[in-house]
Amino acid sequence: MNPLRPLILAAAESPRLKRALTGIPVTADIVRRFVAGETRIDLIGVARTLLASGRMVSVDFLGENTTDRNQADATVAEYLALINDLAALDRPALPGIAVPPVEVSVKLSALGQALPVDGPAIATENLRIICTKAAQADVWVTVDAEDHTTTAATLATVRALRGEFPWLGAVLQAYLHRTESDCREMAGPGSRIRLCKGAYREPPEVAFQRAGEVTDSYLRCLEVLMRGEGYPMVASHDPVPIVAAEDLAARIGRGPDRFEYQMLYGIRDAEQLRLAAAGNAVRVYVPYGSQWYGYLTRRLAERPANLAFFLRALVGKS
């Protein structure tokens, strides 16, 4: 983990900085690098191009930490329209890969999880509405992982809905101490787990702080998932876990139809294409919408070199 990461994530919480940065248009290069655009039309164009290149997609309608019921309802409505539009896309054949190439990713805090009264129950009900629509459209759904205070509630929602929607995926973050045990518990038949390192600022009581410790934890969790009976989703741009997944798959005899690689839109595009050309299932996580601030600051914190682009965009604006 880069040493500036906690600082950047802390600074990003300043309302003044947020006001200054959100003044940058979505068309600025740094925003466009990571975000497909503000509208569903922008998103559909990007998704079509990715699908045509032999990759699959998981689409995130940006937004988080909703404290307003109407906004949560509006997010559900946008996801229903998004699923409609994604279902209408051509799905190019991917030899040897039978899973749906189109997925949506959802943050429960955007569906009302943080509402002061009955938040988790409201988010669960909203997710059920989205999953019902997705099931009709042959679109998968995966629930994103947010900061550690939400982990238990989020996994409880996923468990509650898995009976009805066995394909419902969850994200686990390798930087959390609890995750190896969560992986053991959630590596059962059909269980779809997206394993990532984790992108939030977390205290040492709950999360590994050093990059090497996080990667080691990732590798332990990966082995549990790859040896389990579920469907692992290897979400990382780091060559170490990517090579480890390849080795484990070969040793265990897990074919490309039984796990997938996932990367974020705008990061290591050539590596995404290389993995797909080698016959692997590769899914790109593509965000869109006007609420890009939180997402973008997490991408900046992962790699200080991105900050230089961002600062240039700021200077260009003034």
Binding site for ligand FDA (CB under 6 A): 144-145, 171, 173, 194, 196-200, 235-238, 262-264, 267-268, 285, 299, 302-303, 306
Q: Is the dihedral of CA 190, 194, 195, 201 positive or negative?
A: negative
SS3 185: helix
Q: Which residue has the tokens 């279902």?
A: 87
Euclidean distance between CA atoms 246 and 134, whole angstroms: 30
Euclidean distance between CA atoms 279 and 301, whole angstroms: 32
Task: Please state the closest distance from residue 117 (CB atom) to ligand FDA, in A.
Answer: 26
Catalytic site residue 144? yes
Task: Please state the closest distance from residue 101 (CB atom) to ligand FDA, in A.
Answer: 15
SS3 86: helix
Euclidean distance between CA atoms 12 and 293, whole angstroms: 9
Q: Are 130 and 91 in contact (CB under 8 A)?
A: no
Q: Which residue is nearest to ligand FDA (CB)?
A: 237
- Phi–psi pair at 299, nearest 5 degrees: -70, -35
Token pair for 308: 């230089």
Q: Which residues pair with 215 in a beta bridge?
A: none
Q: Smaller CB distance to ligand FDA: residue 253 or 288?
A: 288
Please identify which of the residues 5, 60, 144, 258 carries the catalytic annotation.
Answer: 144
Task: Please state the closest distance from residue 124 (CB atom) to ligand FDA, in A.
Answer: 18
Token pair for 262: 């996932």
Q: Smaller CB distance to ligand FDA: residue 178 or 237?
A: 237
Please identify which of the residues 194, 258, 283, 298 carries the catalytic annotation.
Answer: 194
Task: Please state the closest distance from residue 286 (CB atom) to ligand FDA, in A.
Answer: 10
Q: Which residue has the tokens 């961002």?
A: 310
Catalytic site residue 194? yes
Task: Please state the closest distance from residue 103 (CB atom) to ligand FDA, in A.
Answer: 10
Task: Please state the closest distance from residue 298 (CB atom) to ligand FDA, in A.
Answer: 7
Q: Are 256 and 245 in contact (CB under 8 A)?
A: no
Q: Smaller CB distance to ligand FDA: residue 84 or 304?
A: 304
Q: Smaller CB distance to ligand FDA: residue 165 or 265?
A: 265
Which residue, among 99, 164, 169, 113, has the nearest Cα to 141 in the 3D structure? 169
Which residue, among 154, 203, 153, 193, has the nearest Cα to 172 in the 3D structure? 193
Q: Smaller CB distance to ligand FDA: residue 65 or 84?
A: 65
Token pair for 195: 């394993």
Euclidean distance between CA atoms 79 and 74, whole angstroms: 9
Q: Smaller CB distance to ligand FDA: residue 128 or 237?
A: 237
Write out the catalytic residue numbers. 144, 194
